[in-house]
Amino acid sequence: MEITRHLFYNLSLLIVIAFFSLIWFEKKSNRTLSKTTSIFFFAFSLWVCLAVSYTPAPNLHFDLREIPIIISGLYLGLGPLMCALCIVLRSFFDTDGGFLANALLYAPIGFLLWRLHPWYVKIGSRQKIMASVMISITVSIFTAICLEVFDPPVNHFDAWFAYLLIPPLGVGIYSYFIEFIRRNILMYQSLVKTEKLEAVEQMGAAISHEIRNPLTAASGFVQLLKDPSVPAHKRNEYLAIVSQELESAERVIQDYLTFSKPALDYMEELQVKKELTQVINILRPTANQYSVQISTNFSLVGTIRGDRQKFQQCFLNVIKNAIESMPGGGQLTISTHFSEYDITIEVKDTGVGMTKDQISKLGEPYYSTKGKRGTGLGMMVVYGIVKAMKGTISVESAVGAGTTFTFTFPAVIKNEQF
Ligand code: ADP
Ligand code: MG
C-alpha cells in the first residue's frame, strides 16, 4: 500500500500549508484575499504535490495535484491556469508517457472546471461540498484509468484504493473548511451590522430621553414666563431653571459628540495644573452645593499633549462624579505627580464608593446608579478620551469609604517644575 501511504503524506502537507495560510488570513485586518494571493497559494500547493510525488518508476508520479486544481478551478475559475501550470511543472520531470498522460487528462479537466465555475459559485454551501467531492471522484477514476492504459501500476488495488479515497477526502476537507470560514465571515458581518443598528436605536432612545426632558422642562418655564403677572423674583428663579435645563441638554449632546468622535482635533501642549484648575473653578458651585471641600496638591506638575477641550471635559466628568458621590459632603483631593516619562493625576473622594462589580461596569454606555439624574455617558466619554490621549485609568474603591481614580498620561519630555 505504498501509493496510499504516500498520498496520505501528501495530504498532510497540503493540510499544513492550508493551516498556516488560514493563520495568516486570520491576522489580516481586512479578511479578504486578492486573486494574486490565491493564485500563489494554489500554485505553491500544486508545486508541493509534484515535488513530493511518489515515484516508483521514473515516468510514474503519484500525488494529489488534483486537489489544488479542483478547488481553485471550482471556487476561483482558475482551472485552465492551474492545469497549464501542472502540465508545465510536470514537464520538468520528464516528457515521456507519463507527461503525455498528464497532459491528456488535465487539458480537458481545465476546460471542464472553467465551464463549471459559474454554476458552482451559485449553488449552496452543502451542494458545493458534495459537488466538489463528486468531481474529485470522477477525476480520480479518470486518473486511475489513465494509469491502467499508459503505465499499469504493480499493485492495482493500491492505486485504485488510494485514488478513490484520498483526493475526494482532501477536496472534501478543503471545501468544508472554505465554506466554514465563509459562513463565519458572513455571521461576523451580520453581527457587526446588528450591533451598529442597536447602537443607533439606543442612541435614539437616549437622545429622546436625555434631551427631551430638559427641553420640555425649559419650554414649560418659558410658557410660565410669558405671564406678565409673574413677580420679578419668580422670573429670575424660572430663568435660572431654564438655563440649567438647557445646560444639561448641552452636556448630553457634548458627551455624545465626544463619544462618536473621540479623535483629538487640536493637539497642543497642556499644562496639567492650569487645565485642572479651570475645571475645578467650573465645578466649585456644584461642590459648594454638596458641601464638598476641594483640596489640591499640584506641587509637581508637567506638560502633556492633548486636546484642551476634551481633556477638560474628561476631568469635568470625573470630578463631577466624585462630587456627586458625596451627597452628605466630604473631601475631594486632586493631586498630580510626574516622573520622567509619565504624569499621574489622582482624583480622590470620600464618597459612597463602588463594589467590584460596579467598577467593572464603569465606561459601559448607559451604566448609571443615579436613576433619572444620571445619563451613564460620562465615564464612557472619559475612557474614550483617555484612550485617545494614550493614557491609562486605574480605579480603587471601597464601599462607604471612597474612590480614587488614577490617570497616567505620557509626559512631554521637556518637563517644567512649578
Ligand atoms: P452618571 O454620572 O450619569 O451616572 P457616569 O458614566 O458619569 O454616569 O458614571 C457612571 C456610574 O459610575 C455612576 O452612576 C456611579 O455609579 C459610578 N461612579 C463614577 N464615579 C464614581 C465615584 N467617584 N464614586 C462612586 N461611584 C462612581
Ligand atoms: Mg457622571
User: 179-235: per-residue pLDDT in tens?
Assistant: 999 898 889 889 988 888 887 777 777 677 678 878 888 999 999 999 889 888 889
Instruction: Say if residue 60 is in the same domain as residue 177.
Output: yes
- Per-residue pLDDT, averaged over 159-172, amounts to 93
Lowest average pLDDT, out of 1-15, 19-33, 46-60, goes to 19-33
Residue 198 lies in a domain: no
Task: Please name which ligand lies nearest the alpha carbon of 377.
Answer: 1
Predicted confidence band of residue 33 (pLDDT cuts 50, 70, 90): confident
Residue 163 shares a structural domain with residue 78: yes
Total count of domains within the chain: 3
| Cβ count within 10 A of residue 336 | 20
Residue with the nearest Cα to atom 19 of ligand 1?
321
Q: Which three cell numbers stand for residue 180?
A: 466554514
Q: Are residues 40 and 187 in the same domain?
A: yes
| Whether residue 245 is found in the same domain as residue 180 | no
pLDDT number for residue 264: 66
> Which of 141, 164, 192 is the last residue in one of the domains?
192
| Inside any domain, residue 273 | yes
- Which one has a higher pLDDT value, 374 or 54? 54
pLDDT for 417 beyond 70: no
295 bridge partner residues: 333
Atom of ligand 1 nearest to the CA of 318: 20
pLDDT of residue 350: 96
Residue to mutate, 379, 386, 394, ligand 1, most ligand atoms under 8 Å from C-beta: 379
Same domain for 41 and 184, yes or no, is: yes
Share of residues in the chain with pLDDT > 70 (%):
95
Burial bucket for residue 27 (CB in 10 Å: 0-12, 13-18, 19+): exposed
d(CA 42, CA 53): 17
Among residues 130, 139, 91, the alpha carbon closest in space to that of 111 is found at: 139
Domain match, 240 and 302 both: no
Name the residue with the closest Cα to ligand 1, atom 16: 369
Ligand 1 geometric centre to CA of 357 (Å)? 13
- Both 255 and 400 in a single domain? no
Q: Which residue has the cell 484509468?
A: 145
| Better-scored residue on pLDDT, 26 or 9 | 9
Average pLDDT of every residue of the chain: 88
Q: What is the pLDDT of residue 198?
A: 80
**The pLDDT of residue 263:** 65
Q: Determine the Cα–Cα distance for residues 30 and 185; give it in Å rounded to an integer.
A: 11
Among 60-69, 197-206, 368-377, 405-414, which is the least confidently predicted range?
A: 197-206
Residue 197 counted as domain residue: no
Site of grid cell 446608579: 369
Atom of ligand 1 nearest to the CA of 352: 25
Q: How far is CA 257 from the centre of its chain?
A: 22
Domain span including residue 286:
268-417
So what's the pLDDT on residue 164? Answer: 92
Asked, for residue 154, whether it belongs to a domain, the answer is yes
d(CA 46, CA 51): 9
At 265-304, the pLDDT tens digits run 678 999 999 999 999 998 898 899 999 999 999 866 688 9
pLDDT for position 310 = 86
Q: Return the residue whose CA atom lies nearest to atom 13 of ligand 1.
A: 368
Measured from CB, residues less than 6 Å from any atom of ligand 1 are 317, 321-322, 325, 349, 351-354, 358, 362, 367-370, 374-380, 403
411 falls within a domain? yes
User: In terms of domains, do 120 and 212 share one?
Assistant: no
Q: What is the pLDDT of residues 105-149, one digit of tens each?
A: 999 999 999 999 999 999 999 999 999 999 999 999 998 888 888
The amino acid at 195: E
DSSP 8-state class, residue 401: T
CA distances to 142, 185, 187, 208, 383 from 194, rounded to whole Å, are: 49, 14, 10, 21, 24
Q: Could you tell me the CA-to-CA distances from 331 to 121, 196, 280, 288, 355 in Å, in that order?
A: 69, 41, 14, 12, 20
Is residue 62 included in any domain, yes or no? yes
> Does the residue 181 lie in any domain?
yes
| 360 shares its domain with 405 | yes
Alpha helices in 261-307 (DSSP H): 272-289
Give CA–CA dist 265/390, Å, rounded: 15
Instruction: Give the distance (Å) from ligand 1 centre to CA of residue 388.
Output: 21
The mean pLDDT of 57-73, rounded to a whole number, is 90
368 CA closest ligand 1 atom index: 14
Lowest mean pLDDT among 54-58, 182-186, 398-402: 54-58
Instruction: Indicate which CATH number applies to the domain containing 238.
Output: 1.10.287.130
- pLDDT for the residue 11: 94
Please report the pLDDT score of residue 418 as a whole number.
46
Q: Is the pLDDT of residue 151 over 70?
A: yes
Domain identity same for 359 and 227: no
Same domain, 149 and 292: no
Domain endpoint, select from 149, 167, 192: 192
Domain of residue 24, CATH code: 1.10.1760
Q: Which of 255, 368, 395, 407 to mutate to test the pocket of ligand 1 (most atoms within 8 A of CB)?
A: 368
Distance from residue 369's CA to the centre of ligand 1 (Å): 7
Specify whether 83 is located in the same domain as 140: yes
What percent of the chain clears pLDDT 90, i.e. is strictly above it? 53
Check which CATH number belongs to the domain holding 345 and give it: 3.30.565.10
d(Cα 311, Cα 305) in Å, to the nearest integer? 10
Q: Which amino acid is residue 305, in one-letter code?
A: R
Q: Over 80: is that where the pLDDT of 178 sits?
A: yes
User: Which of 13-17, 34-38, 259-263 tops mean pLDDT?
Assistant: 13-17
Of the three residues 164, 192, 220, the one that is the final residue of a domain is: 192
Q: How many angstroms separate the alpha carbon of residue 298 from the centre of ligand 1?
A: 25
Query: Is 218 within the bounds of a domain?
Result: yes
What is the 408 CA–ligand 2 centroid distance (Å)? 20
Render pLDDT for 307-317 as a digit per residue (tens, 0 to 9). 888 898 899 99
